[in-house]
Amino acid sequence: MSRCYTIKYISYHFFWGYHVKFSAIDLFSGAGGVSEALKKHFDIKCAVEFDKIIASTYALNHGSDHLLVKDIRKVKKKKWNKINKKLNGSNLDLLVATPPCQGFSRHSRKKSVTNSDDRNKLIMQVIRVAKIYQPNYILFENVDNIVNFKIFHIFLSLLTNLSAEGHKKDLKRPSYHLRFEVVDAVNYGVPQHRKRMILIGKKINEFPNTHAIIKESVKGIPYVTNPLPLWPITEKAPTIRKHLEPYNLSKLEAGGADEKDKLHRCRNLSPDNLVRIQATPQNGGSRSDWKEEQLSLECHKKSNVSFGDVYGRMNFDSYAPTITCGCLAYTKGRFGHPEEDRAISMREAALIQTFPYHYKFTGKSGGNANEGSTENIATQIGNAVPVKLAQSLVDLIYNELIKETQTGLFPKQLVAQT
């Protein structure tokens, strides 16, 4: 049986066989990619996910006791305060927020200036929750294009909560020293080119603080006067070949499935698309390599057509493109298998997103692993934060919290090692 003690000071990461556990909340948790990274060092007090099917996948992997399946906008303060009691009077250590990104995407049909997608307003819930929990750190992830939206600029101003002189604007809300940058997941151990805007915020405890003030460039892009000096070390990812090699995945035909690995199954191809992929050179070939003109769609014959990656193959000796919700469709991107005449499987997509092999996915509400809609599972995989990217960020914040704990700033729980 595990035992927990609260102590005033902790001098070491591990203390007499016990491990320091910090507290975290995972907003917009999705299928649980960030929670998978959190659970080694953090006690997840609450995870919030609106979609019941996606929440079912989360529950399969992380349990449901701390899971709140509800529209975050409808979670009342009384409920947040009830969860707050689990902290025993301490501030929350880490608030994670990965809100829906579709409205901020470059692929949105509305231009950034005029886009009023209601989902974009969800980022303001982070401000609301931060006011209640006063977390020591905030970790936020979204698409790179979010920096072009006025609502994100407002979000930054509210999160920083500083006047031009470096004092708190709103005394009831915490203030944060921020650093936000666009990163490519391939530089953090993920075998996939995936650009995302990452924000790390550390609570300001001493004022005035003029380093953390938000300003705007001549182009109207916000920046921090002196960004928070905290960022993970880069780690170049292995190629797709090296990343997948240890799993020894079986070969499949289009529409095939592995009898032993139910997640290793792929979509069928129409007769025309089977001919197309057979005409596409292995390891990186694309539709521009087709020698027979009749293979090309009429819409692709126009000179101003982009999306050159559709009907393309991945390259085993390079990196995958961004894994999207349409990652199982040969027609929706460079999602053709590098060598086999098929699109990638759900298993391959999940592994490229760096989910561990044991991770379970379900495509229906309350379903068991591998049950329900394949499209629902693909959406969960494509929308997830790659686990290794999340891990690099979570470990960074964890190590900072350890340093602060060693100074005696925050009393923490000790949890027996297993």
Tell me the one-letter amino acid at 316.
F
* Distance, CA of 130 to CA of 152 (rounded, Å): 16
Q: Quick check: 73 and 122 in contact, CB under 8 A?
A: yes
Q: Quick check: 231 and 314 in contact, CB under 8 A?
A: no
* Distance, CA of 143 to CA of 197 (rounded, Å): 5
Q: Can you count the helices (H) and strands (E) in the chain?
A: 10, 12
Which residues have CB under 8 Å from 305's CB, separation 6+?
Answer: 299
Cα–Cα distances (Å) from 407 to 12, 35, 41, 137, 410, in that order, read 10, 27, 19, 17, 8
22-109+116-235+387-400 to CATH, choices 3.20.20.80, 2.40.50.100, 3.40.50.150, 3.40.50.2300: 3.40.50.150
Q: Quick check: 364 and 56 in contact, CB under 8 A?
A: yes
Structure tokens at 358: 């044991």
- Tell if the pTM clears 0.85, that is, is over it: yes
Q: In residues, how long is the chain?
A: 418
Question: What are the residue ranges spanned by the domains of the chain?
Answer: 22-109+116-235+387-400
User: H/E element holding 233?
Assistant: none
345 secondary structure, DSSP code: P
Active-site annotation holds for 101: yes
Per-position b or e across 189-227, b if 16+ CB within 10 A of its CB: bbbbbbebbbbbbbebeeeebeebbbeeeeeeebebeeb
Q: Quick check: 358 and 349 in contact, CB under 8 A?
A: no
Indicate the SS3 state at residue 336: strand
User: ω before 191 within 30° of 0 (cis)?
Assistant: no
46, 101, 266, 327: the catalytic one is: 101
Cα–Cα distances (Å) from 369 to 84, 105, 164, 263, 361, in that order, read 32, 30, 53, 9, 5
List the beta strands (DSSP E) in 72-166: 94-97, 137-143
Each residue's pLDDT expressed in tens, for the chain with a length of 418 residues: 334 433 333 334 444 445 678 999 999 999 999 999 999 999 999 999 999 999 999 999 999 999 999 999 999 999 999 998 888 888 899 999 999 866 566 554 444 544 566 677 899 999 999 999 999 999 999 999 899 898 999 999 999 999 999 999 999 999 999 999 999 999 999 999 999 999 999 999 999 999 999 999 988 899 999 999 999 999 999 999 999 999 999 999 999 999 999 999 999 999 999 999 999 999 999 888 887 766 766 555 555 555 557 899 999 999 999 999 999 999 999 999 999 999 999 999 999 999 999 999 999 999 999 999 999 999 999 999 999 999 999 999 999 999 988 775 555 554 444 3
Q: Quick check: 149 and 120 in contact, CB under 8 A?
A: yes
